Amino acid sequence: MSPRFRSFYLIPLLAIMVAACSDSVTPPSGRAPMAFRIPLQFSLQEAADQAMPGDSVVFEVSFDIGSDEIVFDRNQTPIILMLPQGGKVGDARVGGDVMNPPRIVFENPRGTTVVGIVFDGTEVEVRGSGNLDLYDCGFKNASTQLLVQGSEGSLDVFVEECLFRTAGLFSIDVQGTARVTSVNNTLHNAGDCGIRLNDTATAEIRFCIISDYANFGIACLGSGGLIAGGSGCNDIHDSRTDTGSEPYSGCEPGEFDFHLSPQYCDAPGDNFRLLDTSPCAPLNSGSNCGDEKRIGARDPGCQPDTKF
């Protein structure tokens, strides 16, 4: 687990809130920061309507939000969306209408963090300017699972140790002036591209697995693209032989990228842990990528993976 977010699992909820939203962040009303417990005390829409800077939104159980668009705007940030103390990733799933999927929008975020939530049939959009971190989340069964649209300044989104499974089109779609840093993520079975970069959008993609995409693993369609020297050591591989897919389109390959089967334990059963023989396992990834450096979001070992 990355030191960047390890504290979310090692300290009590109150300390999490203090760490995520410092004492200098005081809601405009003057009230103390509060936790919106979803859905037992509040609906997600009520949290979006009432949350203020310094608050947290705590996802306690799985729930369905139908086909709504729920927006957290600039005036509510920084906030944190998270599991309760002691919660396990996969315990809280945000679901919706697969035919008309809901969308959770972060508009002009400033220091927002999302930890451990599974978005099932739910699209997540980050737009405008600011910064947002996603850690240890799951995305499945949506057309575009994570849409990042930068405008009116810089928009930086950091994604680490997340699983993306079965996107209708794109696992991650980056547009406008946005910049995405993708580290140790697993993206599997996209209907078009694993990651698509449009306009002047840029990305650093490191230590990721992008597998079984219909057209391209990474597509660079604008004047931005992969940041030189910032991408590499990715496994980009389509196991299907009848798609005519390519690992890249319009992108220079990252340094030390390779194209081998990642050897998941059971991808059809949603277990994206790695076999011990996987080229992405820490002991097999090679010294060029750092000694004993894991590639992808999951360690070796085929114990059940409860993400999905």
Query: Does residue 18 surpass a pLDDT of 80?
Result: no
pLDDT of residue 20: 42
pLDDT of residue 25: 60
pLDDT of residue 13: 35
Q: How far apart are CA 210 and CA 188, in angstroms?
A: 6
Closest CA to 248 of 239, 240, 238: 238
For the residues 198-202, what does the mean pLDDT come to?
96
pLDDT of residue 28: 64
For 112, the token pair is 């927002």
Q: Is the pTM of this model over 0.85?
A: yes
* Domain extents in the chain: 3-289
C-beta separation of 262 from 285 below 8 A: no
**Of 24-28, 93-97, 141-145, 279-283, which range is least confident?**
24-28
Q: How many CB atoms neighbour CB 173 within 10 A? A: 26
Query: Does residue 77 surpass a pLDDT of 80?
Result: no
Per residue in 86-128, pLDDT (tens digit) is: 777 767 888 877 677 889 999 999 889 999 999 999 999 999 9
Per residue in 126-170, pLDDT (tens digit) is: 999 999 999 999 999 999 999 999 997 799 999 999 999 999 999
Per residue in 78-88, pLDDT (tens digit) is: 889 998 877 77
Bridge partners (DSSP) of residue 149 are 127, 175
Query: Does residue 10 surpass a pLDDT of 50?
Result: no
pLDDT of residue 27: 67
Query: Which position has the higher pLDDT, 171 or 28?
Result: 171
Question: Regarding beta strands 271-274 and 264-266, do their DSSP bridges make them parallel or antiparallel, or are they unpaired?
Answer: antiparallel
**Of 10-14, 141-145, 280-284, which range is least confident?**
10-14
pLDDT of residue 259: 94
Average pLDDT value for the chain:
86
pLDDT of residue 145: 96
Which of the listed ranges 3-7, 27-31, 68-72 does the model predict with the highest average pLDDT?
68-72
pLDDT of residue 16: 39
C-beta separation of 61 from 95 below 8 A: no
For the residues 259-272, what does the mean pLDDT come to?
95
- Read off the pLDDT band of 29 (50, 70, 90): low
The residue whose two tokens read 């799951």 is 138
**DSSP structural state of residue 54:** T
pLDDT of residue 36: 94
Q: How far apart are CA 255 and CA 54, in angstroms?
A: 40
Query: Does residue 76 surpass a pLDDT of 90?
Result: no
Query: Which position has the higher pLDDT, 23 or 39?
Result: 39
Query: Does residue 67 surpass a pLDDT of 60?
Result: yes
pLDDT of residue 85: 76
